[in-house]
Amino acid sequence: MSISAAPATLIHKGSGLQVVVGLGQSGLSVAHYLTEQGYRVAVTDNNSTPVLAEQLPAAVEIRQFGGIDSELLLQAARIIISPGISLATEAVAQARQANIPVVSDIQLFCEACSAPIVAITGSNAKSTVTTLVGQMAGDAGVQVGVGGNIGVPALNLLANKEMELAVLELSSFQLETVTNLGAQVATVLNMSPDHLDRHGDMLGYHQAKHRIFQGAKSVVVNREDALTRPLVADNLPRISVGIHAPDKGQYGLITDPDGQIYLARGTERLLSADKLLVKGRHNLLNAQAALALGELVGLPLESMLATLQQFTGLDHRCQFVASVTDIDYFNDSKGTNIGSTMAAVEGLGAVYAPKDGKLLLILGGQAKGQQFGELTPLINQYVSQVLIIGEDAKLIEQHLRDAELSGDVRLHQCQTLDNAFTCVQQVTDSSLSQVQAVLLSPACASFDQFSGYAERGEHFSQLVQQLMTSDTADS
């Protein structure tokens, strides 16, 4: 294809063509950023009519839609690829073979950003920790930008010339094209199988995630997950987090003889766990991670602890909805993989177990090729009832039964959330019920019955509200 000449005013960065592959929010931010920098920019997307095309700068004259244009990519000086586009895409793979650099918006951001960067990834909880660190920084009076995989494209943060700290949530898709990130502090919160269809296997996934540590000036490590430990120099400042009593200078949990749990740094008790609005042991780990990240960028401890006590968590992430007839309802619809659901079951289960309480777990949707038998040990320990919904419900039940599910755990095929709530009422009305909490943590995608995890979570919350209304009417 022919490439039209750009206006002379736009060529002061050289005539090397910058090709943006994929016109989502991050692709749009790249097109605006590079145009403002004076580069000649082209955009290509698989969609024949990308929704955001009308928001492109007028200077972007080359717009190749309806398929990723391999000819265009081979004329690029640099390709900036959107996270949703795989490096294995034929046109992209050809360009890489021709030694054309392929980078992400995150690479551009890191090269341009003068503020220290807090870089956060993990299979689960990265949005929670990113938001929390951002709030801690803001409450401490720091001019902070929060973005990346969390909704605001990283490059958009550069508009704030006063930014003193950047807090980035980074996905494995974003990281696989990043080199030498150079974060002030970096962490992999946890690792469990996810996106293996993209990365090939757990090794590929692990390698993508661990690119976050390249050039890092300090690191935060989860002692409970060996896969989070980075291969970095021993003299690099590091702080670890975990569920047991910590060593000097590290974060952990101290449990008193009466069962009271405290967030701790070394031997110092920082905060009683019951002062947190977010519940579950996994959230105690998230709180520690945020404190450790904040410490390594110089945030004051007292201020961080004050923020922590006000933090209500994120929508659809182990979110407390309401208590109805002494049973607590939690919306963890964002739990779309087994690792996330395991964290929620273990985290909440440990809260109710000392009171001889059990969870009722709602599972199911689209299984994404996962092995649900991995959930069985935690279900046996903390759950008395499992309600299964969605198109892969029968498969999930088979996996659980094949993995030596305890005879004390009852399984119910419910197909839909509405049916599940009918079952919830039947189960909890029994005087023999040990259920003290109902947890929606499906471990599955939602697209068989909903537009996404958010709609599924909202429907769950609506059903809880209906229960509350019905309970009020009955009383």
d(CA 165, CA 163): 6
User: What residues are labeled active site?
Assistant: 126, 149, 195
Q: Which two structure tokens, joined as six digits, stand for 414?
A: 């419910």
Is the separation of the CB atoms in 369 and 197 below 8 Å? yes
Q: How far is CA 82 from CA 29, 61, 263, 348, in A?
A: 10, 19, 39, 36
Closest CA to 374 of 154, 161, 192: 192
Closest CA to 116 of 143, 89, 77: 143
Up-side HSE of residue 377: CA atoms within 13 Å toward CB?
Answer: 4
Closest CA to 360 of 274, 466, 460, 266: 460
